[in-house]
Amino acid sequence: MDIEDFQKNFHFLEICHLGPQSIVQIGAASKPWEYATYEGRWVKGLSAGGSCPTSDFYWMNPQFSLTLEGSNDDISEPQASCSFIVSVMQKHQRLRRTGHVRVACRIFQGDDAHVYLFQDALRSAQPVLSAGPCDNHREVVLCSSLPPGRYIIIPSLEKESDEGEFLIRVLTEKGDGSRQMESKANSSGTPAPSTFPTEDQCLRRFLQFANVDGRVNNLQLHSLLTSLLKEFGE
């Protein structure tokens, strides 16, 4: 197809990687990649902080730790960059009756003094990489490389009032990895966002307390909610 015809018929071009092996540089030795996925949700007043890092609420967004380590095979270049891919996709967008909300993703430098980035740290920090907010896109992707170290991934929607569920996919070179950060309350006593149980976890927990007919009474419901709050509400 001629480039002129392509421009007339298409408005967007998205390039997808078939798999981790497809992003290995030509002629380079093939190395295993590690793949991790995380699910979560943005909830107004709890885990939705908007996309402005200097706002009073941005720190409330979910945070994920990304650790990049230098390759043991290349001792001559201890500061060589580590390749990775991070994608943030909004779930259930096809079921929404309203238009798409705008999703964004930023990666900040982490260190031992900032296990979890609160409001004060984020106001003075600059993201090392960012993508979005993007119009009418259910997913943003960061495909890049950074020096070895610890970083923090923060997915967000554009406004503090926006809500939704998300899926994060992280591909890193073998030896690197990522994990979800456990949020803590800050010094002012403001509650930090909690992690949420998945639907499968809720169903399994419900069946533990329910009767054989699939119902719970008031005492069983109280025990069920107490159990969930004890595990996921801290």
CB 110 within 8 A of CB 97: no
Tens-place pLDDT, residues 9-58: 888 777 665 555 555 554 555 556 788 888 899 998 888 999 888 888 89
Query: Tell me, what's the pLDDT at 175?
Result: 55
Instruction: Evaluate if pTM is beyond 0.75.
Output: no
Q: Which fold has domain 30-185?
A: Jelly Rolls (2.60.120)
Question: Domain-by-domain residue ranges, the chain?
Answer: 30-185, 197-234
Instruction: Using DSSP bridges, classify how beta strands 103-109 and 82-90 pair: parallel, antiparallel or unpaired.
Output: unpaired
Sequence letter at residue 67: T
